[in-house]
Each structure stands twice: as C-alpha cells, then as structure tokens.
Amino acid sequence: MMTNIRAATKKIGIVGFGCIGSYLCYLLDDKQTKVFVRRTASPIKPTLSVDGERKALKTQRCYFSEKSLHALDLLIVPVKSYQNAELIKQLRPILPQSIPILILQNGISGIEEFRQAFPYNEIFAGISTDGLYRQSIDSVVLAGRGKLLIGQIQDKKQSCKGLASAKKLMSRHPHGEWSDNIKEQIYQKLLVNCVINPLTFLYDCKNGEVVKYTNECEEIINEVLGVFAHERVHISPDSALTRVLEVIRATAKNTSSMLQDKLGEKPTEIDAILGAIIQKANHYQCPVKKVEQLYQAVKQQEQRYLNTANR
C-alpha cells in the first residue's frame, strides 16, 4: 500500500512513441511521464486504440539532455534491439549514474549492452507478451492483451526510486507482475523466440504452422539449452518443448515479429536472439550448428530485402 502512495509521484521517462512505449504512456496516463523522441519521425499527436476506442496520450515530449534526464526516477527503454547502439551513444555522455534503467525488448543482447555501457546504473528488465501494432504515423493499436513481468537484473541493493517506479508501472498494467527470477523468465522467452521467430520467417508461416517442424524445434531447443546450462539456467528439454508447443498453440494465428519485419522489409532482431546464442556458444565453446545455419539463412534473406528496399 505504501509503495502505491509513494509511487504516485514518480517521474518516468520512456524512449520513443513506439508500440510498447505508447502502451506504457497509456497505462501511466499522467502528464509527468516524459517521452523522449527523435527530432524527426515522431508522431505529432500520438494515440492508442484499445477495443476500438482511440485515446490521446498524455505526456511531456522532450529530447535527450542532461537536464531532462536528471529529473527522472526511471528511464524505460522499449526500442528494437538493433536501435540500442545508437541510443547508448546518445545517452552515455549525459545519463546520470543515479537513474535506473528498465529494458523492455526481445532477445538478451540489450541487457548486456546496457550493463556494459552503464555499469553504475541500476538495471531492471522486463518481458511483455502484449500484442501491439502501428496503424499509422500517430496511432498504435492494442491487438492482444498479455502480461508484463518486471524484475531486477543485478544483485545490487534496490534503490527506492527504481523499485517504486517499476512497481508503479506494474500496478497500472492489468496483468503486471513482479519477478524475483526475471533472468530465467527472459531466457524462457528467448528460447521460444529462438524457435518460433526464425522458423516462421524462413517458412513464411503463421506461428501455428511451426508444429509441422517439430524435429527442427527439438534440434534448436537442444542447442540453446546447452548454452543456457553454461549460464546456469537449467531447463529440461521436455519441459522446454512443452512450453514452446504451448506458445505455438496459444499464438497460432499470430504473425511472429520476425515475419512481420520481413513483410515490412524492416531489420529483424535476429542478432539479439540467435546472434546472442551464437556469441555465448563461441565463448563457452559449445556446438550450435543448427542455430548458426538458421542465423545465416535469416541474415541472407534480411540483407537481400533491405538492399532492395534501400535502392
């Protein structure tokens, strides 16, 4: 109860009016929320549609500066994983060490990039299973309601402001949960993305059709779990397959984010998903032949359509 009363005053910053960023603004629903935008390509009057009702987002819009960042109790980073490098370059000279960061994105490379770039900042990470898409330059649609799990990444003592702000966000989400084991949950989600995303991309199929490729699913799972074991995340192959099949069934009609990227001729998050597994496998000298083969196949197709789109 105390946390909720104190949390009401927290100042939260969000990077970008992206799909997740817009939904978080909608949930926070207060003028204290700051959204950091680029000078170009940001919607003029951002809105979010829920159940057919379109609502204007209440926020302060600003650009990165020492002053605008200094006043924050939490900075949320819901950007595509391939946008991290540019963002870190902008933030590194101006983000104070006292500002906690919450990373909300697919894959695991973002957490490591931010930990390395900001070793003194408190880092939180989260997983969203909501389904959102952009309908137009200024409108995002909530298409499927999921969960928001948040937890702390390091073993550092939690600061009051980081924790209270993360809990404020959680309390506003209809299915927000705190996790004391966020690393394992992120790895579980990563495993699902390692299987469903590249297979749907390469076979041009909806998530549900991935059941046709169970042998390939098992090959990927075994290799990924081998890498996880070195990271002290132990998941049995049977429970991993059961979990992946459950997600395939539950999201059968979905077009995975990686296939959506391909259809929209946009960069994928393959580097933060299979790329991160390959990097860890190289470090631990652990064989991941199937993962490497899928990674190369996705990269080749991605390069081809990006080249054509940029011509």
Ligand X SMILES: CC(C)(CO)C(=O)C(=O)O
Ligand Y SMILES: NC(=O)C1=CN([C@@H]2O[C@H](COP(=O)(O)OP(=O)(O)OC[C@H]3O[C@@H](n4cnc5c(N)ncnc54)[C@H](OP(=O)(O)O)[C@@H]3O)[C@@H](O)[C@H]2O)C=CC1
Closest to ligand Y by CB, 40 or 285: 40
157 noted as active-site residue: no
Closest to ligand Y by CB, 122 or 271: 271
**What 8-state DSSP symbol labels residue 158?**
P
Q: Residue 18: which residues within 8 A CB-CB, separation 6 or more? A: 78, 79, 80, 134, 140
Q: Which of ligand X, ligand Y, none binds 173 (CB below 5-8 Å, type-dependent)?
A: none
Q: Which of 10, 189, 262, 280 is catalytic?
A: 189
Check if the beta carbon of residue 7 is closer than 8 Å to that of residue 165.
Answer: yes
The half-sphere exposure of 51 on its side-chain side, counting CA atoms within 13 A, is: 1
| Residue 86 sits in the site that holds ligand Y (CB under 6 A) | yes
Shortest distance, position 263 Cβ to ligand Y, whole Å: 14
The site that binds ligand Y (CB under 6 A) totals a number of residues, namely 29
| Residue 257 sits in the site that holds ligand Y (CB under 6 A) | yes
| Residue 81 sits in the site that holds ligand Y (CB under 6 A) | yes
Q: Which of residues 173-212 bind ligand X (CB under 6 A)?
A: 192-193, 196-197, 207
- E runs forming strands in 145-286: 148-152, 176-178
| Residue 37 sits in the site that holds ligand Y (CB under 6 A) | yes
| Residue 128 sits in the site that holds ligand X (CB under 6 A) | no
Check if the beta carbon of residue 87 is closer than 8 Å to that of residue 15.
Answer: yes
Q: Which of residues 41-80 bind ligand Y (CB under 6 A)?
A: 41, 78-80
**81: exposed, middle or buried (Cβ count in 10 Å: 0-12, 13-18, 19+):** buried
Closest to ligand Y by CB, 132 or 163: 132
